[in-house]
Amino acid sequence: MANPLHIVVCGSIVPDPLQTLEPITTPTGPGLKNDLMLPAVFDPWAAHALFEAANLVKQFPGSRLWLVSMGPKAKLQQVMMTIAQKVPFELVAIDGPAHGFTDAHETAALLADAIAAIPDLDRSSLLLFGGWESASRGAGVTLQIVGERLGITDQFQGVDQITLSDNGSFEVMERVEGGKHLVSHCAGTPALLGWATGNLGEPRNDPQVGMKNMRVVMPALQKAKQATLSAEGLTYLQVQLPQQQRQTRIVKNMPADEIAAEIVEWISRS
Amino acid sequence: MAEEVESVIERPSMDVDIACVGFGPAMGGFLTTLSRGLVDEDGIAIADSTAITGMPPQVICYERADDIGFGVSGVVTRARAIRATFPDFDPENVPMAASVATGKLVYLLDPIGASRRPFAMRIADRALNLFKPLLPVRHSALEIPFAPAFLHKGDGFVLSLGQFNQWVGSQLMAGGNVQIWPGMPVAEPLLDGQRVTGIRLMDQGTDRHGDPETGFMAGMDIHAALTVVGDGPVGAIGMQLDEAFGLPKGNQQREWAVGMKFVIDLPDDTALQPGTVFHTLGYPEPEIFGFLYVHPGHVASVGIFVPSWFDSPVRTSYRYLQHFVQHPYLWQFLEGGRLRSWGAKSLQESGKRGEPFLALDGCARIGEGSGSTNVLTNSGVDEAWFTGTLLAEGVLELLRTHLPFTRENLDEVYTARRRASWLEPELKMGEHARDGFQHGFLTGMAGMALTGLSDGILNLHVKAKRPHENIRSLEDFYRGRLDVSEIDAIRQNCHSHNHSLHDALMTRCGWPEIALDGQLLVSLQDALLMGGKVQAPAGFRDHVTFRSEEACHTCGARTCIEICSGEAITAGEGGLPAFDREKCVHCGACMWNCTQADAEGRTNLVFRAGAGGLHSAEN
């Protein structure tokens, strides 16, 4: 049996992608129109990482799981009421922006400092998890920089699976081009894994997990340090959302092949 | 779920002190008042938890929707009770909130000639058109120069309830005295004889019939000394309690309406100021009332109410709403606007007459489902909030005095408070205000005026019919306009092509086709995605089912299909209604529009607890 793991998941909140998201320029840089009233959700990519981490913690008794999350405190709190029903974790909250337009280096420094300050964290048995992408604005480098700052050199991105051996080594499957996976063997922790979708479904809402989590989540939120991000030297030339085009047609009993063919034809016309 | 499966399921359970169902304005009022009183000035709990030793009372609220701001509605409210709770309430702190600036009552003429207006109304319309130069008739509408006092909301606020709920909820959660869990529907009340002992959460990981599948998690039993039910007019727990305990003698819940609304980005150069309020009558049908409220940031809520006493079997709110926004009086402001959000909900319009037992052993009812809506003043949100605050004051009294939550004690501290408050006489005053509508629009308006202007002393007393008793057959409804064979041909054609019957009939009767512009005028299916963002998480059973297939076979009206706000109920195999959970906005209109009722008045369509629904916090 492998030693107990210490898993830290970096996962933030993002504006609910189902809402009307409209980029605007604010006095402090790019932002979203009506940002204040947009509901937030836990970043779906980080959610995969969190669920995989919780699954590992369940498999290896004595393991611990921390969720390090940066976002505006009020929104963080609201999202926690949903995510805290899913899996047990200890929260490290940072009161800061979550709109996706911050500088990745600054964000990574804050996250790394927060992780380094976790009491009882055994960095030799650390697995640092996060999403390899983000639903807000994937800079694509934040997690890697967090790892570098913490001195974690074994890094894997686009991970769909981790299999741990009894001797503490593990096998990682990373997504590569062509719908294939690259299989790597790693001698042991510490390591960083940026998760793709993984293989687990979203856990059910469990009221007991929620109750247990809230005993640590609320104090963590109350203790959340305010993070200041200067964004000095960072400029955005242009911000835009991917163009959407919607055309709805209701059909019944249409074979899947025909539906697929029609969609392909529609896309090729666009 | 099959009984044999239920019998082998091991259900987890949890003990709390107070279990709450539904997070709307009533629960906001309850939890805000309760959480402030649970600890004294020194931060010490006023009572110990009976569920967890050494802890303060454990208060948990479960909300069906995926977030606490989803699935509710936008309003104009006088906010008397809300302001009593938040004396320094500043609309600047709540997105989409504004103080009421101006209010208008507008009579809309029929600019296209398709509206079914009674003879007297047609005469009045002609007179208005004839004397247009002398009257304030503009854009096919008459701005009524005075609105009766009972309709005034001049000192109130325009709110998005979604945003208001988010604001209230975030303060509650930050306080840490209560917990609110969204995305967790409550399936049923737990009963021990006449006592409510808690609630059962919905099973997860089931198929659409409720049978366990991979990842099954039995719904937890939450045992509580007190269960507070504020799950709205079509809430599963409230309805099950009503079925188990009945209603007080003489009370009934027969008047309903479905409210449907767009939230619209107004053109940048709009002349409408935040806080502007229009209430309309007369169009698209005389029975359908409308509204327009202007929020800050060039945003407006625009909607209609389709009442249960509207006798048309062609009851599609969406098509009517599209015609409503295109009325010249509204279109002058809305042309060039863009749909932000869309939603619908049922309103319990029996008001005081629909009041259930407010207190049971171990249980209390608050909010719209407790008969708190004032049907004379069209006001429900503030009244619902107030019922929550009254219950919280009573609960705190019982906690302080260590008295149990028996029916007698709850009656003493809550029902009595409610009876002695400003709410009771106002609700009583309006109790019969809408009776006249049972005999049509004009009688209804006369009845409203009589009640309102006499402060409820004079009323038209008419026994309310059940909603389905109001709905006429298509053949009857269109007598004189369409013959039976034509209706039958249209019906057959729609069935064979799976087209909407109400659309075809409305078009045939002179309502112009909606020229979709992809901005404000979009198909209902697009509205589901663009505005409602309707979601249905996997692993839950269908919340709309039908008791008897035979009853659906013999039903000619199929009103459930015609009324469905999201086209979630369509004609399936053999023409039987088929339910698609992924399109349901949980408005519940199908339940009270079902025309197949049993001897006890229960409709054949069962509306249970369910997950998902609207995903917009702007409503």
Query: Nearest-CA residue of chain A relative to B296?
Result: A34
B379 touching chain A per CB within 8 A: no
User: Tens of pLDDT along B465-520?
Assistant: 888 888 888 888 888 889 999 999 998 888 887 778 888 999 999 999 999 998 99
User: Tens of pLDDT along A21-40?
Assistant: 788 888 777 888 877 778 88
- What is the pLDDT confidence band of residue B61, given thresholds at 50, 70 and 90? very high
- What is the pLDDT confidence band of residue B147, given thresholds at 50, 70 and 90? confident
Lowest mean pLDDT among B270-284, B401-415, B430-444, B583-597: B430-444
In words, the CATH class of domain A6-226 is: alpha beta
User: Tens of pLDDT along A183-240?
Assistant: 999 999 999 999 999 999 899 999 989 988 988 888 898 889 888 877 677 788 887 7
Residues 232-291 of B with CB under 8 A from A: none
B440 touching chain A per CB within 8 A: no
What DSSP designation does A192 have? E
Mutate to test the interface with B, among A13, A81, A249 (most CBs of B within 10 A): A81
Cα distance between residue B508 and residue B511, in whole Å: 7
ipTM score assigned to the predicted complex: 0.83
Lowest mean pLDDT among B12-21, B26-35, B145-154, B374-383: B145-154
User: What integer pLDDT is reported at residue B463 of this predicted model?
Assistant: 82
CB-based contact A141:A10 (threshold 8 Å): no
User: Tens of pLDDT along A64-80?
Assistant: 999 999 998 888 988 99
User: What integer pLDDT is reported at residue B365 of this predicted model?
Assistant: 98
A78 touching chain B per CB within 8 A: yes
Q: Is the predicted pLDDT of residue B313 greater than 80, yes or no? A: yes
Query: Nearest-CA residue of chain A relative to B222?
Result: A207
Domain ranges of chain A: 6-226
Lowest mean pLDDT among A109-118, B385-394, B520-529: B520-529
What DSSP designation does A50 have? H
Concatenated DSSP letters for A11-33? --EEE-TTS---EEEETTEEEET
The H or E element that residue B360 is part of is strand B359-360
**Contacts with B422 (C-beta within 8 Å, 6 or more apart), sequence order:** B80
**B70/A207 touch (CB, cutoff 8 Å), yes or no:** no
User: Tens of pLDDT along B534-578?
Assistant: 888 889 999 999 999 999 998 877 889 988 999 899 888 888 899
User: What integer pLDDT is reported at residue B97 of this predicted model?
Assistant: 95
- What is the pLDDT confidence band of residue B107, given thresholds at 50, 70 and 90? very high
**Contacts with B334 (C-beta within 8 Å, 6 or more apart), sequence order:** B264, B266, B300, B302, B325, B520
B69 touching chain A per CB within 8 A: yes
Chain A residue numbers touching B215 (CB-CB < 8 A): 201, 204
Residues 341-360 of B with CB under 8 A from A: 341
Query: Nearest-CA residue of chain A relative to B52?
Result: A211
Query: Nearest-CA residue of chain B relative to A17?
Result: B533
Residue A37 has its nearest CB partner, among B163, B180, B567, at B163
Give the relative orientation of helices B484-497 and B501-508 as an angle to the nearest 10 degrees: 140
Nearest Cα neighbor of B389 from B362, B414, B371 is B414
Mean pLDDT of chain A: 89
Chain B residue numbers touching A252 (CB-CB < 8 A): 498
Mean pLDDT of chain B: 91
* Tokens linked to B434: 């809408």
Mean pLDDT computed over B450-458 = 86
Q: Is the predicted pLDDT of residue A1 greater than 60, yes or no? A: no
Q: Is the predicted pLDDT of residue A43 greater than 70, yes or no? A: yes
Which residue in this structure is represented by tokens 């005081």? Answer: B352
Q: What percent of chain B has pLDDT over 90?
A: 67
Q: Count contacts between A and B (CB, < 8 Å).
A: 95
In this prediction the pTM is 0.92
User: What integer pLDDT is reported at residue A270 of this predicted model?
Assistant: 64
Chain B residue numbers touching A55 (CB-CB < 8 A): none
Give the relative orientation of helices B161-175 and A73-83 as an angle to the nearest 10 degrees: 90
SS3 A66: strand
Strand partners, A191: A127
Amino acid identity, position A222:
Q
User: What integer pLDDT is reported at residue B7 of this predicted model?
Assistant: 67
User: Tens of pLDDT along B338-395?
Assistant: 998 899 999 999 999 999 999 999 999 999 999 999 998 889 999 999 999 999 999 9
User: What integer pLDDT is reported at residue B72 of this predicted model?
Assistant: 57
User: Tens of pLDDT along B156-196?
Assistant: 999 999 999 999 998 898 888 899 999 999 999 999 999 99
Based on its alpha-carbon atoms, the radius of gyration of chain B, rounded to whole angstroms, reads: 24
Cα distance between residue B260 and residue B325, in whole Å: 12
- What is the pLDDT confidence band of residue A164, given thresholds at 50, 70 and 90? very high
Mean pLDDT computed over B432-441 = 86
User: What integer pLDDT is reported at residue B223 of this predicted model?
Assistant: 97
B167 touching chain A per CB within 8 A: no
Q: How many CA atoms lie within 13 A of B523 on its CB side?
A: 10
Mean pLDDT computed over B47-57 = 89
The dotted CATH code for B3-87+162-251+354-429 is 3.50.50.60
Residues 195-224 of B with CB under 8 A from A: 201, 204-205, 215, 217, 220, 222
The dotted CATH code for B93-158+253-351 is 3.30.9.90
Distance from CA of B65 to the nearest CA of A (A): 11
User: Tens of pLDDT along B205-256?
Assistant: 999 999 999 889 999 999 999 999 999 999 999 999 999 999 999 999 999 9
Length, in residues, of chain B: 619
CB-based contact A68:A142 (threshold 8 Å): no
Cα distance between residue B379 and residue B372, in whole Å: 9
Length, in residues, of chain A: 270
CA B443, B446, B451, B454 torsion-angle sign? negative
Distance from CA of B180 to the nearest CA of A (A): 7
Please state, as a whole number, how many other Cβ atoms lie within 10 Å of the Cβ of residue B103. Answer: 18
**Distance, C-alpha B482 to centroid of its chain:** 34
